[in-house]
Amino acid sequence: MLKLFRQHTRCNQLIRSLKTGHLKYSSPTSSKDVRVNQFNIQLLPQYIRDHIFGPQPGNQEDINSELVDKAKEHLTSHEIDFTKGSIIKDVPKPSLVELRSDNIKEHFDSIAYTMLQPYLYLVDKLCNCQIPEPPAEWKLTPGWIKYGSNEPVKIMYPDESALVIDVETCMAVGPDPVLATAVSPTCWYSWVSPRLVQKLDEEWHKEDLFRNRIHQIPIRDDADTSTHRIIVGHNVSFDRCRLREEYNLAKSNTHFLDTMALHMCVNGVTTSQRGKWLKAEGEGEDQDSMSGWMGSASPGALRNLYKLYLGKILDKAPRDLFLTGTLEQIRNDFQNGITYCAKDAIATLEIFQRLLPLFKQSSPSPVTILGMMEMGSAYMPTNNKDWSSFVTNCDEYHANSVRSTSVKLRDLANKACDLSEDNLYLLDPWLSGFDWNFIESKKKTSKILKWYNKELGVKSEEISPQKRIVPLLLRLVWEENPLHFVEHLGWGYIVPAPADDKGSLIYSLWIDYLNKYLEFLQANQHNKPTLLQEVRGLLNRFNEANIPCTDSFSVNDKIISLKEDYPTIKTAQILKKIMVHSYKTKFGTSFGRVKLPGFDIPFDFYRIPHKNGDNYNCGKPLGRDYEFAMQNNIMKSRVSKSGADILKAEKFISFWRSNHRRIKNQMIVNVGTVGEEAVILPNLCVAGTVTRRAVQNTWLTASNAEEDRVGSELKSLITAPPGYVLVGADVDAQELWIASLLSDSHFAKIHGCTGIGWMTLQGDKSSGTDLHSRTANSLGITRNQAKVINYARIYSSGLSLTVQLLSTFLPNESIAEVTKKAKLIYKQTKGIHVPVGSNDDMYSYRRTGRDSSNTSLEWSGGTESYLFNKLEEIANSKEPRTPALNCRISSALLPDNVKSSFYTSRLNWVVQSSGVDYLHLLLVSMKWIMDSYDISGRYCLSIHDDIRFLVREEDAERAVLALQLSNLYTRCLFSYMTSVPDLPLSVAFFSAVEIDRVLRKDPTNECITPSNPDGLHKARGIPKGKSFDIHSILKLVSRLEKVS
C-alpha cells in the first residue's frame, strides 16, 4: 500500500526536500496589488499568485489572443458587459504558509502523505496479514479478553494499533454495546458488557435520552492520545459511537476506515440502481450472471460486499438474536451470538484486504483517504440540560397542536355528516365517493355514517392529520381543483373533462335542486326578494347552458360551504350567497378519468407534481414538500378559517413530527463527572453515495431555525464546552464556482471567459448581473426560486424537471407557457446541440480533446455551453475522474458498464464529487496548519457546504486565519488542476468565518422558533457570535506563529 502512494506522489523525493513549514513573509509592491484579467476579473496579488503557482514566464501571460476575442464576442452576445466590474482596492495581504513543493498539487500530496504515513504502515499490516483463527470458545467475562497463542488473558483494552472491530447491541434495551470482537494481524479480542455478565438487566434504560460513558467500550488508555491507531469496520461509525475514549474532548491519533464508504467510492450504486440490483438478486441471479454494472457493483450491506468481493454467502440469520432477543436470550446463546459477531469481523477484514487496493486505484490521491479519515472523526459537543429542555418543549408544543387540530378535524367531520341531508354529499367532489349509508343500530337515536365509522372511529379521541381523509375534510384544492386520491397513483386533482356538446354542459342535478329551492322559497312567501332573484337568475343561467364546465366546482363549493356558514338554516337558504364564477385550470398530463357519484360528467385526474419527477406519487399533500404550494395558495383549503388554522398548525409541527424519533434516538453520552456536558458522535457514512457525499439521517438533513417550525433550532443544540468555541464557514457557492471553473477551463482557460464564469465571479445581485438574478428576471420568478432552477440544471436535471419547477413557481401560467419559458432558459444557458466541428457557430470554437471529424453533438450558443461540453467530455471518457483529485466514478456508472444509461447520474457526479474533493482538501489543509502551528482544536462537522471546527477559545482567531488560508490553497489547487494558473480574488477567501458558541447559520440569529420563543440569549444565555472577513481577521492576526 505504501508503494501505491509513493508511485503516485513522488513523496520519497519530496520528503527529503521538505521546507521548514514556517510562514513566508512577503513585502508585496503596491503596483502589483491590483491585478485584473482581460475580462475585468480581479485576481490575486502578484506575490500570492507567484507563491502558489510559481512565477509567470516573461512579462505577459501566454494567452491566445484569438481565443480572448472569441470569449469577448461570447460574453457580449449574452449582454454581459465585461468591461464593468467591482475592484477591491484594499487588497488583503496575508502572510502565507510556505508550500512544501514547487506546485500546489505536490504540496497537498506531500502534507497528506506525511500525515498519513504512520497509518499506512498499520493499514499494510491489516491488508497483508493472514487472519488468525478465532478461539474455539469465547469467555463470558466482563471487559476485554485477549486470545493469543497462550491462554486467554484479561486486559484493560486491546494492546495493538491495527484492528478490525464489530460491536453488537441489544435492540430491546437500547443503544449501549452488549458485546464486541476485534481481530488484529496476530490475535483476537472480545469484550462483554459487565451488565450483561452480572445480570444487571434493570440498569439498561432504553428510553433514557442520555447514555453513560462508563458503559461504553474502552479502546485505549485515556491519557494516550499520541499513539497512532487504525480501526476498520463496516459502517464503522456505529462501532465508534460505542468506544469510550472517542468521547474525550482532546483529539487523539486514532482514526477509522469504513469498508462501506470505501465500497461506495469504488463499486457503489445509485438509488435507482439499488432497486434494480435488489430485484435481480431477489429473482435468484448470482453475481456471475449479472451483466454490466450489476456484476461489478452492489448496495453497501456487508453481505452484498462479501458476495461481490469474496464470492461467498454471509449468514446473517444469527443477527436476529440482537434485533429481537432479550438480554437473557443473549446470555443463554452467548457462544453463537459472539461467534456471529466474530464472523462479521472476519468478513470485514477479508473485504478490506480486497477493497483497499481497488480504492487506491480509484482514488489515488492521499488527500482523499486522509480527508475521509478526518470526516470520520466528527465530534459534536452538546449540553444535556439544554437538550432535555429542547425535547420537552417540542413534545409539549406538538402534543398541544395535535389535540387542537384533532378537535377542529372532528368538528369538520361532524359538519360533513350534515351533507347526508337532501343528499347534498352528491354535490361534494371531495366526499361524494364515500359510503353514505348509515350503520344499522339497535339504538334508534344512534345514526352513524359508514364512512365516518371506517375513517375516523366514533370513540377516537384524536384524528391524525396524516389520515388519508384529512385533505378531503379540508376540501383542499390544487389551483382551484379538488384533490382526489387514486390508489396506484397517489394524490392528484380532478378537472371536469372537456365537453363534447351543449347537452353535457347542462347539469340536471343542479337544476333539480335549484327548482326545488325556488319552490320552497315561493311556498313560504319568503320576504327577501333579492334571494329569489338570485336563485331565478342562477336557474336561468343553467337552463341557457351558458355556464362552462369548469364552473361546476364553484357552484358546488358555494352550496356546501354556505351550509357550514348557516348550519341552523334550511338548506334552501344557503343559496343566498351563491355567486358563480369561472376559474382557470392548468392542464398537464392526465392519468385517466374518474367518475364521481352525483356528477353526470367524467373528470380527468392529474397527479400533484412530485419533486423527484413525473414517475413519483404524491403520498402526503400536507407534507413538507408541499409547504411552498400552501404558502403561495397553489394548494389551499376551501374550509375558511378552520382549514387555514389546520394547515398552519401542520406546517409548524411538520419538522418535529418527521424527525422526533431520530432526534430522540441520538446517542448522547454524558462526559462530565458533575457538569452538564455531553457529546454526540454522529453515526454517519463519510461516503454514503456514489458522489461520495457523507450520509447521516439527522444532522446532514437538518434545516436552519425558522420561526414557524417546531424543533428547527436543533443545530443550535451543538454547543461548545466551556473554554472552547466553534469556528467555521459556509463555502460560498462552492459547486457553482466549480462548475464555472470547468466552463472557463474548457474555453480560453481564463477566469470569467464564459457566461457562467463571469456571472459567478463578477455578477452582482444588486445590479441584477449575477446568474440567479438574470434567471429570475428572465423567467419572472424570485431569485431564490431561480437558484433552484439553476442548480437543478447544473446538476444536469432535464427540461422536464425545469417545467415541473416552473409550474409550481408560476401557478397561473399554463403548461404550454411554462414549457416555452423552460425551453427559452435552456437555450440561453445550456444552448442548443450542434454537430461537433460545425463551422456555422462561433461557440464551437474550442473542442479540447474532441475529433472534429466526429459526427456527435456538442452544446453551443449558451452561457453554459462550455460547462456542459466539459461535463460530457468527462462523463463520456473511459474512466470519468474528478479534475481536482483524480477520483474515478463508481464502476456502476462506468460508460463501458452502463452504455448510455444513467447519463444524468454521470454528469451530476462530476460536479458533486468535485465538491467532495473540495471538502477533503479543506480538511487536510486545516489539519496540517492546526498541527503545524499548535492551534488546539479538532474537526466538528460539515453540513453540505458548511464546515465547523471545535477550537480552544484562545486559539479561535488564529483558527479563523488558518481556515481562510486553507480556502485559498484549496481553490488554487482546483485552478491549477484545471490549467487555469491563477485565482480570482473574489473567491480566494471566505466572505465570513464565524466564531460562535453554538452551531447556527448566522452568528447573530437568535434561533427563535415556536419551541424556542425566547431566543438563545434569554433562554440559554448564548451571546451573539462574531464574523470575520479576511480584512478584519488580518487586523487581529497578521500572521500565524507557533505558540512558544
Consecutive H or E run containing 860 = strand 857-860
Exposed e or buried b for every residue in 738-767, given b needs 16+ CB within 10 A?
bbbbbbbbbbbbbbbbbbbbbbbbbbeeee
CA distance 601 to 594: 9
Output the pLDDT for position 844. 45
Torsion angle (degrees, nearest 10) of CA 512, 515, 519, 520: 60
585: left (phi over 0), alpha (psi -120 to 50) or beta: beta
3-state per-residue secondary structure call for 946-1005: EEEEEEEHHHHHHHHHHHHHHHHHHHHHHHHHCCCCCCEHHHHCCCCEEEECECCCCCCC
d(CA 859, CA 843): 9
Contact status, residue 596 vs residue 433, Cβ threshold 8 Å: yes
CATH number at 137 reads 3.30.420.390
Distance CA(63)–CA(52), nearest Å, equals 20
DSSP string, 34-64: -EE-TTS-EE--HHHHHHHH-PPSSSS----
In a domain, 1023, yes or no: no
3-state secondary structure 907-946: HHHHHHHHHHHHHHHHHHHHHHHHHHCCCCEEEEEEECCE
Single-letter code of the amino acid located at 439:
I
Verify that 633 and 748 share a domain, yes or no.
Answer: no
| Domain enclosing residue 137, as ranges | 129-262+328-362
> CB within 8 A of 272, min separation 6: which ones?
902, 905
What is the C-alpha to C-alpha distance for residues 863 and 774, in angstroms, rounded to an integer? 11
221 and 152 in a common domain: yes
User: Rounded distance, CA 720 to CA 726, Å?
Assistant: 6
Q: Give the residue from 38, 85, 42, 43 showing the smallest Cα distance to 66.
A: 38
Cα 900 versus chain centre, distance:
27
Final residue before a domain boundary, out of 864, 896, 913: 913
- Does 700 fall in a domain? no
Q: Are residues 356 and 421 in the same domain?
A: no
d(CA 177, CA 849): 55
Return the axis-axis angle of helices 366-375 and 2-9, rounded to nearest 10°. Answer: 120
Beta-carbon-side half-sphere exposure of residue 155 (alpha carbons within 13 Å)? 19
DSSP summary character for residue 437: P
Residues 341 and 411 in one domain: no
Residue 60 burial class via C-beta count within 10 angstroms: exposed 0-12, middle 13-18, buried 19 and up: exposed
Which 8-state DSSP code applies to residue 120? H
Same domain as 350, residue 411: no
- Domain termination residue (choose one: 362, 384, 406): 362
Q: Phi and psi of 1020, rounded to 5°?
A: -130, 0
Burial class (CB in 10 A: 0-12, 13-18, 19+), 492: buried
Asked whether residue 794 is assigned to any structural domain, the reply reads yes
Among the three residues 878, 913, 948, which one is the final residue of a domain in this structure?
A: 913
HEC readout, 790-828:
HHHHHCCCCHHHHHHHHHHHCCCCCHHHHHHHHHHHHHH
Tell me if 266 sits within 8 A of 352, measured CB to CB: no
**Beta-sheet pairing, 603-607 with 380-383:** unpaired
d(CA 767, CA 85): 11
Residue 841 a catalytic site member: no
**3-class secondary structure, 97:** strand
Do 447 and 578 lie in one domain? The reply is: yes
CA–CA dist 587, 583 (Å, integer)? 13
Burial class of 489 by CB neighbour count within 10 A (0 to 12, 13 to 18, 19+): middle
Q: Are residues 439 and 356 in the same domain?
A: no
Compute the distance between CA of residue 9 and CA of residue 105 in angstroms, rounded to an integer.
9
**993 found inside a domain:** no
> Collapsing DSSP states into helix, strand and coil, what is residue 680?
strand
Note whether 764 and 615 are same-domain residues: no
Residue 28 lies in a domain: no
Q: Is there a single domain that holds both residue 461 and residue 343? A: no
- Residue 839: strand, helix, or coil: coil
What pLDDT score was predicted for residue 544? 54
Query: Cell numbers 498519513 correspond to what residue?
Result: 116
pLDDT value of position 757: 98
Q: How far is CA 45 from CA 34, 42, 95, 416, in A?
A: 6, 9, 12, 73
Give yes or no: residues 556 and 641 share one domain.
Answer: yes
363: nearest Cα among 855, 888, 721: 888
Q: How many CB atoms lie within 10 A of CB 350?
A: 19
Tell me the three cell numbers of residue 81: 458587459
Structural domain contains residue 891 = yes
| Contacts of residue 669, Cβ cutoff 8 Å, sequence gap at least 6 | 210, 211, 212, 213, 216, 247, 678, 679, 680, 681
Pick from 425, 839, 468: nearest CA to 623: 468
Number of other CB atoms surrounding residue 558 within 10 Å? 20
**Average pLDDT per consecutive 10 residues, the chain (1044 residues; last block may be shorter):** 48 37 42 85 95 73 82 97 89 90 94 97 97 97 94 96 98 96 98 94 84 96 94 99 97 98 98 92 66 92 97 95 96 98 98 98 98 98 96 97 92 90 85 88 73 80 84 91 90 79 40 63 61 66 48 48 40 32 41 82 85 80 83 83 87 92 95 86 97 95 93 98 97 95 97 98 92 96 94 90 86 85 96 78 42 66 97 96 98 95 95 98 98 97 95 98 98 98 97 98 97 97 98 94 71
Residue 294, CA distances (Å) to 28, 691, 994 in order:
57, 18, 46
The answer on 432 and 352 residing in a single domain is no
Number of domains in the chain: 3
Identity of residue 357: P
| 490-496 and 481-486 strand pairing | antiparallel
* Non-local CB neighbours of 350 within 8 Å, separated by 6+ positions: 131, 306, 309, 310
- Is residue 958 assigned to a domain? no
DSSP secondary structure letter of residue 1 = -
Residue 881 is which amino acid? R
Residue 481 domain flag:
yes
Between CA 394 and CA 404 the distance in angstroms is: 15
Annotated catalytic residue within 33, 109, 166, 955: 166
pLDDT of residue 603: 87
Q: What is the pTM of this model?
A: 0.87
Do 550 and 433 reside in the same domain of the chain?
Answer: yes
Question: What is the gyration radius of the CA atoms in the chain, in angstroms?
Answer: 33
Identify each DSSP E strand in 516-573 by its residue range.
Answer: none
